[in-house]
């Protein structure tokens, strides 16, 4: 015999098994000789995933115990043997098979059993429960000869059971005593939406039904008779009406129990007998039973700590928030989902079309998120849970947290960056953000390794999205050191470079390279620095020293097309154009045989201009009063307008006038990426301002300003930034906003992406721009004013300089054009010829 103390564990369910793992991990086998009794024939398996058995997951796959796990560590596992007596005086347990084991310490992890209401007939053949793999086998067996199945209980487990019956091909009914589904977890609205969704899946729901009798059926095996006189004929009855703690052993040996059952434990999970511990679903802590695995695992850890005399806070309660997929429907409940806290405020979103229900509960002073219910779309579960657990202050208008994205409100949720390191990310395994960041820093750079290192997201899986976010964020943080460098020549981000240029008053690429870079530069850093030099000093971009920095588009002040020709886009401020100017564009296009098209930005593009024709085309346009549209630049593109008050019967302000004013103010401004704006004359929003970097919408009381919208690859609805602005306030605000963007955005970062990566998000931006929290306001305005004053039309300047014009030729040694540029006609205009067409054209 060893001189170790004897530890006996009763129950080898999820918590009992995890307890052994925790004990082994803490080195507890040096001190204890462990014996485990399990009543079931199998070692512990994943009860949470039980339903997947019906969709093909085998019992082996559900097992949580690797082959030989207990044996290799010398833990004795006795299965198919139920402990029937505990003698606390002799410190001995006795099993049904007659085994007697004495203990120094005893752990009761007996779980719970499904509650079956004692209605007459409840024990008929074919009346089943849903808790163990054996139960599943019985259900499958009975279903084979059944057509109709009824689940008693519309709670979480009942709905899972209903899914199982549905998968088995039965006509499925859910009978619920309460007036709604999942009455414990979700509020009334959530219950209604859930019902609607589940009914759409073909499951019949009967609420407010009190089953009084189960008798022989009418053409079916059973008939359920309800208090209201109605009946339901069914072949199979599955009880899922709640769980009850398995406290019979404890009761018999005189341990203290709760009024309605449950083995009373303290923070160390000790029962009223200090040598006896209890953990998992059978334990009652602070008057509560926890019917989820995560709290059970936490109890296990507390018990292990205490058994090994490790200082710990013990079990301090657990959050009962849950997220599940019930019959394919996302359902989540966070904290005080039912708004029971006095003074709590609720916000609800009901989208009957998409079948989504969300409710949010915050404290009366709006400083805390207390709870939430999500049905149909539980995307915000992770962030809402974190806000609730970590007391993170919700935005001014908390409703934004559950509003659909793209509704023009602030970005919802919160970046993982905002979470404290102590924030628990995975509640199943109590993994904190700090644990994760530590593991990432230690080399876990993908989900697989992070999961195996920390166990995070290997339980219920509810935290997976959040774990991924932490991983991504950390990688970004780590990668940033490397990735922030815009290229091999400059170990700086665009923001850093901007700062260096401004502070060091650097005026050329050459100077930058000398001071901060190495090598000769490339097609990444050259245009970036060229653009920064332009935004800071607004010099003519084609000054000889800047010329080699420019992309061909900037160099030739036109947009290169696939065949090497260019397109020309004159500025048409606000989309307003005189007939004379329209005629000039028409004449130029006709004379140079150009393809013309109205662009998506309310102006006209002339395509197919050969490089050597660019100056002549532009000479005619400039003479007619046009200026460059900067379609080539990372700069202001168009300010789209609607016709507004002047003509439109609904317009409340002069939107076209404002669009022109804004376009003329910001034209030519070089930015990290292109910038688009729009002005609508009323709320009908014909200019689509809410999809622009800067969107302006007229109201009776002034202009409403939206920022950081985006069309394109990843559309983003703009955020409402300020309301009821006068003309002057509007311009001032945009000045500040734009200059702040220029200062702080990364290379090729549109305002939308910039904002989404900006720490503090919209609120921070509002503080900086509207409340001038950084004291930058005057400076930003002055910088913008300098830019506005220095504006010049690059084409006008170019045309005035014969030296510059020399560049616009295809060959240095002949005036010939590129013979490889060939056009054919389509719909009465030219287009580039295909390779085949070129061959035909040449041989003709």
Partner 1 sequence: MEWATVCSAGEVTELLGIGALIFDHQVAVFKVDGELYAIDNFDPFSQANVLSRGIVGDLKGELVVASPIYKQHFSLKAGTCLEDGTVSIAVHPVRVQDGMVQVALGSPVSQQAA
Ligand X SMILES: Cc1cc2nc3c(=O)[nH]c(=O)nc-3n(C[C@H](O)[C@H](O)[C@H](O)COP(=O)(O)OP(=O)(O)OC[C@H]3O[C@@H](n4cnc5c(N)ncnc54)[C@H](O)[C@@H]3O)c2cc1C
Q: Which residues in this chain contact ligand FES in the complex, by CB under 6 A?
A: 426-428, 456-463
Q: Least CB distance from residue 595 to partner 1, whole Å?
A: 17
Shorter beta-carbon distance to ligand FES: residue 157 or 506: 157
Q: Decide if residue 663 touches ligand SRM (CB under 6 A).
A: no
Strands 148-152 and 171-175, by their bridges, are parallel
Judged by beta carbon distances under 5 to 8 A according to partner kind, the member of partner 1, ligand FES, ligand X, none in contact with residue 811 is: partner 1
Site string for partner 1, 596-615 (x = CB under 8 A): ---------------x----
Output b/e per residue, 79-89; b: 16+ Cβ within 10 A.
Answer: eeebbeebebe
Give the start-end residues of each E strand in 73-210. 76-78, 83-87, 92-95, 100-102, 105-108, 112-114, 127-129, 148-152, 171-175, 204-206
Shorter beta-carbon distance to ligand X: residue 130 or 429: 130
Q: Least CB distance from residue 185 to ligand FES, whole Å?
A: 16
Site string for ligand X, 296-315 (x = CB under 6 A): x-------------------
Contact 638, 602 (CB under 8 A): yes
Tell me the C-alpha distance between 133 and 816, whole Å: 84
Among 109, 304, 320, 585, the residue binding ligand X under the rule CB under 6 A is 109
Site string for ligand X, 247-286 (x = CB under 6 A): --x------------------------------xx-----
By the 10 Å C-beta count (0-12 exposed, 13-18 middle, 19+ buried), 118 is classed as exposed
- Of the candidate spans 47-55, 222-230, 743-751, 771-779, the one that interacts with ligand X by CB under 6 A turns out to be 47-55
Total H helices, total E strands in the chain: 26, 39
Q: Decide if residue 366 touches partner 1 (CB under 8 A).
A: no
CA 368 to chain centre: 21
- Of the candidate spans 6-14, 54-62, 118-126, 660-668, the one that interacts with ligand X by CB under 6 A turns out to be 6-14
Contact 266, 134 (CB under 8 A): no
CA distances from 412 to 383, 426, 750 (A): 9, 21, 19
Q: Decide if residue 166 touches ligand X (CB under 6 A).
A: no
Closest CA to 734 of 751, 749, 748: 751
Among 357, 429, 556, 703, the residue binding partner 1 under the rule CB under 8 A is 556
Shorter beta-carbon distance to ligand SRM: residue 638 or 680: 638
- Of the candidate spans 224-232, 341-349, 425-433, 711-719, the one that interacts with ligand SRM by CB under 6 A turns out to be 711-719
Shorter beta-carbon distance to ligand X: residue 147 or 288: 288
Query: What does DSSP assign to residue 440?
Result: H
Q: Which two tokens stand for residue 105?
A: 């310490």
Tell me the C-alpha distance between 732 and 456, whole Å: 49
Contact 141, 128 (CB under 8 A): no
Shorter beta-carbon distance to ligand SRM: residue 157 or 671: 671
Site for ligand X, residues 172 to 201, rule: CB under 6 A: none
Q: Decide if residue 358 touches ligand SRM (CB under 6 A).
A: no
Q: How many of the other CB atoms lie within 10 Å of CB of 813?
A: 6
Tell me the C-alpha distance between 21 and 25, whole Å: 6
Contact 242, 146 (CB under 8 A): no
- Of the candidate spans 8-16, 226-234, 435-443, 752-760, the one that interacts with ligand X by CB under 6 A turns out to be 8-16
Site for ligand SRM, residues 594 to 633, rule: CB under 6 A: 597, 599-601, 603, 605, 631
Residues sharing a CB contact under 8 Å with residue 551, sequence separation 6 or more, in sequence order: 523, 527, 632
Site string for partner 1, 289-328 (x = CB under 8 A): ----------------------------------------
Q: Least CB distance from residue 534 to partner 1, whole Å?
A: 16
Shorter beta-carbon distance to ligand FES: residue 381 or 498: 381
Give the start-end residues of each E strand in 38-126. 76-78, 83-87, 92-95, 100-102, 105-108, 112-114
Site for partner 1, residues 503 to 532, rule: CB under 8 A: 519-523, 525-527
Closest CA to 740 of 709, 789, 781: 781
Number of residues this chain uses to bind ligand X (CB under 6 A): 36
Q: Decide if residue 564 touches partner 1 (CB under 8 A).
A: yes
Tell me the C-alpha distance between 337 and 342, whole Å: 13
Q: Least CB distance from residue 147 to ligand FES, whole Å?
A: 37
Tell me the C-alpha distance between 133 and 534, whole Å: 71
Q: Which two tokens stand for residue 436?
A: 């994760």
Shorter beta-carbon distance to ligand X: residue 172 or 733: 172
Residues that bind partner 1 (CB under 8 A): 488-489, 519-523, 525-527, 544, 547-553, 555-556, 560, 562-564, 611, 807, 809-814, 816, 818-820, 835
Residues that bind ligand X (CB under 6 A): 10-16, 37-40, 47-48, 50-51, 82-83, 109-112, 130-131, 157, 160, 246, 249, 280-281, 291-294, 296, 324, 460
Residues that bind ligand SRM (CB under 6 A): 559, 561, 567, 569, 597, 599-601, 603, 605, 631, 637-638, 674, 676, 710-713, 750
């Amino acid at each position: 015999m060893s001189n170790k103390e004897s530890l006996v564990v009763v129950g080898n369910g999820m918590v009992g098994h995890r307890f052994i793992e925790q004990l082994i991990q803490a080195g507890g086998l040096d001190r204890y000789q462990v014996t485990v009794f399990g009543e079931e024939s199998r070692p512990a398996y994943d009860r949470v995933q039980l339903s997947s058995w019906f969709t093909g997951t085998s019992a082996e796959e559900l097992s949580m115990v690797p082959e030989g796990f207990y044996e290799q560590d010398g833990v004795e596992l006795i299965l198919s043997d139920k402990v029937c007596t505990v003698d606390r005086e002799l410190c001995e347990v006795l099993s049904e098979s007659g085994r007697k084991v004495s203990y120094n310490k005893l752990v009761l992890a007996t779980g719970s059993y499904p509650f079956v209401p004692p209605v007459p007939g409840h024990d008929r053949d074919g009346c089943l429960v849903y808790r163990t793999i054996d139960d599943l086998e019985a259900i499958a067996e009975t279903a084979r000869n059944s057509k109709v199945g009824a689940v008693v209980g519309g709670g979480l487990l009942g709905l899972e059971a209903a899914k199982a019956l549905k998968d088995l091909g039965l006509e499925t009914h859910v009978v619920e005593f309460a007036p709604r589904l999942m009455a414990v977890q979700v509020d009334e609205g959530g219950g209604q939406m859930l019902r609607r969704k589940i009914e759409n899946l073909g499951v019949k729901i009967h609420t407010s039904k009190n089953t009084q009798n189960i008798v022989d059926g009418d053409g079916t095996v059973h008939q359920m008779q309800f208090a209201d006189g109605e009946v339901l004929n069914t072949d199979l009855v599955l009880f899922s009406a709640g769980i009850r703690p398995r406290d019979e052993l404890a009761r018999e040996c005189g341990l203290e129990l709760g009024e309605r059952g449950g083995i009373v434990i303290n923070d160390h999970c000790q029962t009223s007998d200090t040598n006896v511990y209890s953990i998992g679903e059978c334990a009652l802590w602070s008057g509560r039973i926890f019917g989820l695995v995560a709290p059970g695992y936490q109890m296990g850890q507390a018990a292990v700590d205490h058994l090994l005399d490790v200082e710990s806070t013990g079990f301090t309660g657990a959050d009962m928030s849950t997220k599940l997929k019930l019959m394919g429907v996302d359902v989540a409940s966070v904290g005080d989902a039912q708004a029971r806290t006095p003074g709590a405020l609720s916000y609800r979103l009901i989208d009957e079309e998409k079948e989504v229900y969300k409710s949010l509960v915050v404290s009366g002073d709006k400083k805390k998120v207390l709870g939430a219910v999500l049905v149909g779309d539980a995307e915000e579960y992770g962030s809402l849970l974190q806000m609730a657990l970590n007391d993170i202050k919700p935005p001014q208008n908390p409703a934004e947290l559950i509003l659909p994205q793209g509704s023009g409100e602030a970005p919802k949720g919160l970046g993982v960056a905002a979470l404290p390191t102590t924030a628990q990310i995975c509640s199943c395994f109590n993994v904190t953000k700090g644990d994760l960041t530590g593991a990432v820093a230690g080399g876990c750079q993908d989900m697989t390794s992070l999961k195996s290192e920390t166990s995070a997201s290997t339980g219920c899986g509810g935290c997976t999205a959040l774990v991924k976010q932490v991983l991504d964020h950390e990688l970004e943080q780590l990668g940033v050191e490397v990735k922030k460098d815009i290229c091999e020549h400059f170990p700086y981000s665009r923001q850093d470079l901007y700062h260096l240029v401004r502070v060091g008053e650097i005026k050329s690429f050459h100077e930058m390279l000398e001071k901060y870079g190495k090598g000769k530069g490339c097609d990444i850093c050259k245009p970036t620095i060229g653009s920064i030099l332009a935004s800071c000093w607004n010099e003519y971009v084609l000054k000889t020293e800047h010329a080699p920095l420019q992309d061909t588009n900037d160099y030739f002040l036109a947009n290169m097309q696939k065949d090497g020709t260019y397109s020309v886009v004159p500025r048409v401020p606000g989309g307003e154009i005189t007939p004379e100017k329209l005629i000039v564009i028409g004449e130029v296009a006709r004379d140079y045989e150009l393809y013309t098209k109205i662009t998506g930005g309310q102006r006209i593009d002339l395509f197919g201009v050969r490089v050597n024709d660019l100056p002549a085309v532009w000479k005619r346009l400039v003479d007619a009063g046009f200026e460059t549209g900067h379609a080539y630049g990372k700069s202001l593109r168009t300010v789209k307008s609607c016709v507004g008050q002047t003509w439109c019967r609904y317009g409340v302000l002069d939107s076209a006038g404002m669009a022109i004013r804004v376009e003329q103010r910001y034209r030519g401004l070089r930015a990290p990426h292109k910038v688009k704006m729009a002005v609508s004359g009323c709320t009908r929003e014909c200019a689509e301002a809410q999809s622009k970097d800067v969107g302006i919408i007229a109201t009776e009381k002034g202009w409403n300003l939206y920022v950081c919208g985006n069309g394109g690859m990843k559309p983003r609805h703009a955020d409402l930034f300020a309301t009821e602005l006068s003309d002057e306030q509007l311009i001032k605000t945009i000045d500040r906003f734009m200059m702040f963007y220029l200062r702080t955005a990364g290379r090729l970062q549109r305002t939308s992406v910039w904002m989404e990566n900006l720490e503090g998000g919209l609120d921070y931006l509002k503080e900086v721009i509207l409340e001038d929290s950084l004291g930058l306001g005057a400076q930003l305005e002055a910088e913008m004013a300098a830019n506005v004053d220095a504006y010049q039309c690059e084409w006008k300047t170019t045309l005035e300089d014969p030296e510059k014009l020399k560049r616009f030729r295809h060959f240095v040694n002949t005036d010939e054009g590129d013979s490889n540029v060939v056009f054919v006609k389509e719909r009465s205009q030219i287009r580039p010829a295909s390779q085949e067409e070129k061959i035909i054209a040449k041989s003709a």
